Amino acid sequence: MSVSDNDTDRASGRGEIVLAAGLVGVGLYMLLSAQGIPVPPTDHGPGPRVFPYAVGAGLALVGLWLVVAVLRGDRAEAEAGEDIDLDTGTSWTTLGLLAAILVGYVLLLEPLGYLLATILFFGGVAWTLGSRNWRLLLLISIVLPLVVFLLFTRGLGIYVPNGLLQAVI
């Protein structure tokens, strides 16, 4: 909750143009690479290429439409919600930290096992979102993943690999 940009980027539409141009790029890529999808000689229908062509063309056209629309000043309202304050702008620090935690979680999930990785993950996310009561943070970060883990493995009988702690719990 520190830096906010007051969304000058949203107002200028630069970000959305990049996004829409990305759609055009993906659409063109689909059009080109759909030619490479092999068509088995036994196929008597329109084959596996037709839909990719259609979707690729659609993506490219809609992307172009959006680029033009945004350049001409068309802006949509960002999504509102009961727990959202759009006036303060986007906190990129929060988002960046969260992204780093997400990547870390994906990388650590297998080596550490579900329980340990999730404890770190939960604690990290909660801390990033502003929880500063250390004792409470520590307690919940351990108890909640543990309860979820036990609920799924013992309660619902679903196997969840537990890496380092496999032998313990």
Partner 1 sequence: MSTPTPPVVVLAHSPNQSAGAAFEAAVRQAGWRGARLVILNASTGESLVDPHHARPSDLADMTGRAGEAGVDAVVEQPIGPDVATIILDRADALGAELIVLATRHRSSIGKLIMGSTAQRVLMEADAEVLLVKDTDR
Partner 2 sequence: MENFSLLLEGFQAALHPVYLLYAFLGVLVGTAVGVLPGIGPAMTVALLMPLTFSLDATGALIMFAGIYYGGMFGGSTTAILLNTPGEAASVMTAIEGNKMAKAGRGAAALATAALGSFVAGTIGTLLLTMLAPLLARWAIKLGPHDYFALMVLAFVTVSAVLGSSRARGLASLFVGLAIGLIGVDQLTGQSRFTFGLPHLADGIDVVIVAVALFAVGEALWVAAHLRRAPVELLTVRGRWFTRDDFRRSWAPWLRGTALGFPFGTIPAGGAEVPTMLSYAAERRLSKHKDEFGKGAIEGVAGPEAANNAAAAGVLVPLLTLGIPTSATAAILLVVFRQYGLQPGPALFANSGDLVWALLASLYIGNLMLLVLNLPLVGLWVKLLQIPRPYLYAGIMVFAALGSYIVNLSPIDVGLLFGIGLLGFVMRRYGWPVAPAIIGLILGPIAEGQLRRALQISQFDLGILVSSPFSIVVYVACAALILGPALAGVVGRSRRGSLTPAP
Total site size for partner 1, rule CB under 8 A = 9
CB count in 10 Å sphere of residue 94: 16
Amino acid, res. 28:
L
- Of partner 1, partner 2, none, which one sits near residue 69, judging by CB under 5 to 8 A according to partner kind? partner 2
Instruction: Tell me which of 94, 116, 142, 146 binds partner 2, using CB under 8 A.
Output: 94
131 counts as binding partner 1 under rule CB under 8 A: yes
**CB-based contacts of 164: which residues, under 8 Å, 6+ apart?**
111, 112, 113, 116
Nearer to partner 2, 42 or 168 (CB): 42
Q: Residue 102's closest CA among 84, 85, 118?
A: 118
Tell me: does residue 51 bind partner 2 (CB under 8 A).
yes
Determine phi and psi for 52, rounding to 5 degrees.
-55, -40
Answer yes or no whether residue 130 interacts with partner 1 by CB under 8 A. yes
The option from partner 2, partner 1, none interacting with 135 (CB < 5 to 8 A, set by class) reads partner 1
Alpha-carbon gap, residue 61 to 94, rounded angstroms:
34
Least distance between partner 1 and beta carbon 19 (Å): 30
Closest CA to 21 of 72, 66, 75, 77: 66
Residues numbered 58 to 97 that lie near partner 1 (CB under 8 A) are 82-83
The one among 16, 113, 115, 162 contacting partner 2 by CB under 8 A: 16
Q: How far apart are CA 112 and CA 115, in angstroms?
A: 8
Q: Contact positions toward partner 1, by CB under 8 A?
A: 82-83, 130-133, 135-136, 139
